[in-house]
C-alpha cells in the first residue's frame, strides 16, 4: 500500500506541476510525435484538409450522440422533384430499350435528345442558369431508379451531375465562366466530360504526367499569358461525344512569368473539344455496356489563361478542388448505382424464389436459398439507408470526405454481393443473355462501380481510416498542426494543453470500454427504448473500442501505421460498420418504426456489430507488439467476442417478411423499375398472381401428397386430374392455367436461331 501511495503521488506531482510535466511528459511526447509523423505529399495534405467531418467524427470519438443523429433532416423530395420523378423520369424509363443499347453500344438519338431537352444533365445547376437545382436526395433517387432499368443510361446521366465541369464551375469558377458555361450545360448545348485518369496515373493523381507550361503567346491576335498543354488521358466517360473537356494537369512556370514558383501544382481547365489540337480518340468498350467512354490527348495545345477554372487564381488549386468535390461522385452517384442494382436484385429474386419451383415447391422454401436471400435483403435495406443518409449530408452543404468514402466502398461491395446472390438463385435464367435477363447488364457493370472514383482496395486500405484518423479524431489533427509550428516554445505550450485533454479523453474511453465489456453494454445510457435499444448500446461500446484502438495504434506506430495497410484497414472497417449501422437506425426511425421492417433492421445491425467486432479482434491479433495486442484484446473483450452473426432463425424471418406482396417489400425495393410486359414486369405479375392463388395451390399440393400415384404428374396434368376429381372448380382451374402460362413466361430465357 505504501508503494502504491508513492506511485500515485509521483504521478500526481508529474502531471500537476507544469514545469515537471513539460520536461518529463509533454516535451518528449511532442518530439516523438514530430518524428513519428508520416511524410505527407502535397496531394495527401490537401486531401486530408479538404472536406468536412460529420457524424463520422462522433462515431470516431467513442461518444456518439444518438439524439443528434435523429435530429438530422429526414430524406425528402420537393413537389417539383416528385413531379419530375413521376413524369419525366417515368417517360425516360419507358423510352429506354436495353437490348438496343447493348446492340448499338449507345443510347438511341431519341433518348439523347430527351435527356438534353428535359434537363437530365442539369440537376446540380441553379435555376438562374437554367438548371433544375435538385437536391442531392432527388439526384440520387433518379440515378438509382434509372440504374434498375439501364446502367448505361444511369452512368450517362450521372456523369454531368457528378464530379466534372458543372460542379467545379459552381464552386470555383469565375462569374464570367459560370455565366458562359452553365446555361449551355443546363440545356445540353454543351456536353461535358472530365479527364483526370491517364495511362500512368489512376488512384495516384499526384503523379499525372500531363503538363501545362505558362508562356507568352499570340491568341486572338494579341500577345497574352497562356498555357501550353500536353496530355494523354483514358477511361474518360462521355469523351467521345463531349463538347467541353475538363482537364487536370500539372502547371509549370519555368520563366517565372507569374512571379512565383516554377512548379505550381495540379490545375483544372475547361477546353472546347473543337479547339485546335484537342483530340478525342477511339472509344473504349467498358464490359460491353452502352455508355460512351474513351480517350483524349493533345500536344502543346495553346489556351488562354482565363480558361483555367477560377482564372489565374485557380492555378495550382486543382487537386484541392477535385478532392473537395468528390462527395458528388462518392456520396451520390456511385451509391445510387449500387442502390438501383440492389433494389432490382432483391425485388426480382424474392419474386423468382416464389415463382420458380424445384421438387414441387418454391425454391425460396429451401434454407440454402434463404441464407442468401436474407443477406441480400438486409444488404439492400442497408444500402438504401446509407444512400439516403449520405445524401442528407450533401444537402446540408457538407462535403464529408470520410463518410462518402465509406458509402462508395461498402455500398458498391454490398451491391456486388447482392448481385452474386441473385445470380446464384436465378441460376440458368441469370446467365442467358437477352431481353428476359434483367440481371446481366448490371452484373457486367458491377466492376465499373468498384473501380472508379478511387478503386475499392485503395479506398478501404488508405482512405477511410487514413482520413478518418486525422480528420475525425478530436485531437490528432490539432496536435499535428501544433508540432509543425516554427515557434517551439509556443508550440510546446499549446501541445501540452491539447495533450492533457487527449490523455483524459483516452483514459475515459478506455475505462468506459472495459466497463461496457463487463456489463455486456448494459451500462451504456442511450436516449431510446424499445426493440432497438440494445443495438444503440452495443454500437456505443464498439465506438469506444475503436477510439481506444486508434489511439494505441497512432501512439505506438506513428507514421508506420500509414504503411500498415492491413492493420489500419481493419480500423476503417470498424468505423464503416458503425456508420452503416447508424444509417439503418436512422432509416428505421425516419420510416416510423415500421414493425414489418424489424427483421431486416435486426439482421443488418447484428451483421454490422459482428463485422465490427471481428475487425477489432483481428486488429488485436495482428498488432505488431503481441503483448500489447493480447492485452488490448483482453481489455476490450474480457469475456470473449460476444457479437455473433445473425441467427438462422432471424434469416428465415427476413425471408418470410419479403415472401409476399406487402408494404415492407415495396418500401425496401421501391426504386426497381418494372417494365410492363417483359422481364421485370412479367416476373412481378407472376409473383403477385401466385400469391393470390396460394390457398388453391396449397390445396392442390395437399391433394398430391395424399395420392402417391400423382407424385410424378406434370402440373398441367395434375390440374386436369384435380378438376376431374372436383378438387378444384372450373373457375379455379382456369385461373391456375393462366398462372402457369404466366409463370412459364416469367422463368423463360431467350433462345436464338443464330447469334
3-state secondary structure string across 24-57: HHHHHHHHHHHHHCCCCCHHHHHHHHCCECCHHH
Cβ atoms of 43 and 319 closer than 8 Å? yes
Q: Rounded to an integer, what distance in angstroms lies between the CA atom of residue 162 and that of residue 28?
A: 47
Parallel, antiparallel, or unpaired for β 244-252 and 263-272? antiparallel
Distance of CA 54 to the CA centre of its chain: 16
Q: Rounded to an integer, what distance in angstroms lies between the CA atom of residue 270 and that of residue 181?
A: 9
Q: Residue 714, SS3? A: coil
Q: Rounded to an integer, what distance in angstroms lies between the CA atom of residue 316 and that of residue 374?
A: 50
Cβ atoms of 147 and 333 closer than 8 Å? no
Give 3-state DSSP helix, strand, coil % of the chain, rounded to 5: 65, 10, 25
Q: Give me the catalytic one of 384, 436, 453, 732.
A: 453
Q: Distances from the Cα of 103 to the Cαs of 107, 287, 289, 447, 639, in angstroms?
A: 10, 13, 9, 21, 60
Active site residue 453: yes
How many other β-carbons are positioned within 10 Å of the β-carbon of residue 73? Answer: 12
DSSP string for residues in 288-319: T-SS-EEEEEEEEEEEEGGGBTTGGGGTT-HH
Q: Residue 539, SS3? A: helix
Parallel, antiparallel, or unpaired for β 244-252 and 222-237? unpaired
Q: Rounded to an integer, what distance in angstroms lies between the CA atom of residue 189 and that of residue 577?
A: 43
Using the Cα atoms of residue 480, residue 484, residue 489 and residue 490 in order, give the sign of their dihedral. Answer: negative
Chain position carrying cell 516554445 = 489
Listed in sequence order, the residues at least 6 apart from 163 whose beta carbon sits closer than 8 Å to its beta carbon are: 194, 322, 325, 326, 328, 329, 453
**What are 560's three cell numbers?**
508506420
What amino acid positions are annotated as catalytic residues? Answer: 453
Amino acid at each position: 500500500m505504501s508503494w502504491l501511495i508513492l506511485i500515485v503521488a509521483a504521478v500526481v506531482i508529474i502531471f500537476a506541476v507544469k514545469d515537471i510535466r513539460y520536461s518529463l511528459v509533454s516535451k518528449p511526447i511532442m518530439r516523438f510525435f514530430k518524428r513519428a509523423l508520416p511524410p505527407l505529399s502535397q496531394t495527401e495534405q490537401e486531401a486530408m484538409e479538404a472536406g468536412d467531418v460529420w457524424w463520422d467524427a462522433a462515431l470516431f470519438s467513442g461518444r456518439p450522440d444518438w439524439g443528434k443523429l435523429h435530429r438530422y433532416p429526414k430524406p425528402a423530395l420537393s413537389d417539383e422533384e416528385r413531379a419530375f420523378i413521376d413524369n419525366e423520369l417515368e417517360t425516360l424509363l419507358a423510352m429506354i430499350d436495353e437490348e438496343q443499347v447493348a446492340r448499338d453500344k449507345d443510347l438511341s438519338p431519341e433518348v439523347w435528345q430527351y435527356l438534353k431537352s428535359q434537363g437530365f444533365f442539369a440537376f446540380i445547376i441553379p435555376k438562374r442558369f437554367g438548371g433544375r437545382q435538385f437536391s442531392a436526395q432527388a439526384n440520387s433517387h433518379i440515378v438509382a431508379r434509372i440504374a434498375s432499368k439501364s446502367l448505361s443510361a444511369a452512368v450517362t446521366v450521372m456523369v454531368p451531375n457528378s464530379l466534372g465541369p458543372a460542379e467545379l464551375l459552381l464552386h470555383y469558377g469565375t462569374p464570367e465562366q459560370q455565366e458562359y458555361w452553365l446555361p449551355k450545360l443546363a440545356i445540353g448545348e454543351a456536353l461535358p466530360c472530365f479527364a483526370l485518369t491517364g495511362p500512368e496515373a489512376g488512384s495516384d493523381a499526384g503523379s499525372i504526367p500531363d503538363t501545362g507550361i505558362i508562356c507568352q503567346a499570340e491568341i486572338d491576335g494579341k500577345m497574352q499569358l497562356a498555357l501550353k498543354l500536353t496530355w494523354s488521358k483514358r477511361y474518360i466517360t462521355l469523351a467521345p461525344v463531349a463538347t467541353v473537356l475538363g482537364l487536370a494537369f500539372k502547371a509549370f512556370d519555368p520563366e517565372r512569368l507569374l512571379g512565383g514558383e516554377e512548379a505550381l501544382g495540379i490545375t483544372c481547365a475547361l477546353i472546347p473539344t473543337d479547339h485546335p489540337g484537342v483530340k478525342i480518340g477511339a472509344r473504349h468498350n467498358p464490359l460491353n455496356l452502352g455508355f460512351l467512354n474513351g480517350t483524349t490527348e493533345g500536344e502543346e495545345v495553346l489556351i488562354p489563361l482565363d480558361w483555367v477554372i477560377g482564372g489565374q487564381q485557380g492555378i495550382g488549386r486543382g487537386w484541392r478542388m477535385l478532392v473537395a468535390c468528390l462527395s458528388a461522385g462518392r456520396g451520390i452517384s456511385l451509391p445510387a448505382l449500387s442502390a438501383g442494382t440492389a433494389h432490382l436484385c432483391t425485388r426480382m429474386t424474392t419474386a423468382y424464389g416464389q415463382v420458380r419451383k424445384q421438387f414441387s415447391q418454391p425454391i425460396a422454401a429451401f434454407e440454402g436459398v434463404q441464407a442468401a436471400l436474407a443477406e441480400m435483403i438486409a444488404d439492400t435495406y442497408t444500402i438504401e439507408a446509407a444512400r439516403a443518409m449520405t445524401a442528407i449530408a450533401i444537402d446540408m452543404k457538407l462535403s464529408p470526405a470520410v463518410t462518402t468514402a465509406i458509402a462508395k466502398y461498402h455500398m458498391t461491395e454490398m451491391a456486388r454481393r447482392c448481385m452474386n446472390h441473385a445470380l446464384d438463385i436465378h441460376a440458368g435464367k441469370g446467365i442467358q443473355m437477352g431481353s428476359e435477363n434483367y440481371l446481366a447488364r448490371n452484373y457486367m457493370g458491377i466492376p465499373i462501380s468498384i473501380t472508379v472514383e478511387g478503386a475499392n482496395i485503395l479506398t478501404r486500405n488508405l482512405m477511410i481510416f487514413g482520413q478518418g484518423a486525422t480528420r475525425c479524431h478530436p485531437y490528432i489533427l490539432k496536435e499535428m498542426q501544433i508540432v509543425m509550428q516554427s515557434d517551439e516554445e509556443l508550440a510546446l505550450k499549446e501541445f501540452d494543453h491539447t495533450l492533457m485533454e487527449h490523455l483524459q479523453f483516452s483514459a475515459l474511453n478506455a475505462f468506459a470500454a472495459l466497463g461496457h465489456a463487463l456489463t455486456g453494454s448494459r451500462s451504456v445510457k442511450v436516449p431510446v427504448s424499445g426493440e432497438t435499444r440494445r443495438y444503440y448500446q452495443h454500437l456505443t461500446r464498439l465506438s469506444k473500442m475503436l477510439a481506444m484502438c486508434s489511439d494505441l495504434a497512432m501512439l505506438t506506430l506513428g507514421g508506420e501505421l500509414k504503411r500498415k495497410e492491413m492493420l489500419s484497414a481493419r480500423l476503417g472497417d470498424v468505423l464503416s460498420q458503425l456508420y452503416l449501422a447508424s444509417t439503418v437506425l436512422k432509416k428505421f426511425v425516419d420510416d416510423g418504426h415500421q414493425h414489418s421492417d424489424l427483421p431486416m433492421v435486426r439482421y443488418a445491425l447484428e451483421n454490422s456489430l459482428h463485422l465490427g467486432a471481428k475487425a477489432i479482434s483481428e486488429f488485436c491479433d495482428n498488432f505488431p507488439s503481441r503483448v500489447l495486442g493480447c492485452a488490448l484484446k483482453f481489455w476490450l473483450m474480457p469475456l470473449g467476442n460476444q457479437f455473433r452473426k445473425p441467427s438462422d432463425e432471424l434469416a428465415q424471418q427476413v425471408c418470410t417478411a419479403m415472401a409476399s406482396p406487402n408494404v415492407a417489400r415495396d418500401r425496401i425495393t421501391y426504386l426497381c423499375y418494372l417494365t410492363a410486359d417483359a422481364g421485370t414486369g412479367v416476373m412481378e405479375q407472376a409473383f403477385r398472381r401466385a400469391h393470390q392463388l396460394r390457398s388453391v395451390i396449397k390445396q392442390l399440393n395437399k391433394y398430391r401428397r395424399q395420392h402417391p400415384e400423382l407424385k410424378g404428374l406434370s402440373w398441367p396434368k395434375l390440374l386436369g386430374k384435380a378438376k376431374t376429381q372436383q378438387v378444384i372448380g372450373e373457375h379455379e382451374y382456369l385461373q391456375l392455367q393462366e398462372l402457369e402460362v404466366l409463370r412459364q413466361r416469367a422463368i423463360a430465357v431467350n433462345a436464338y436461331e443464330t447469334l
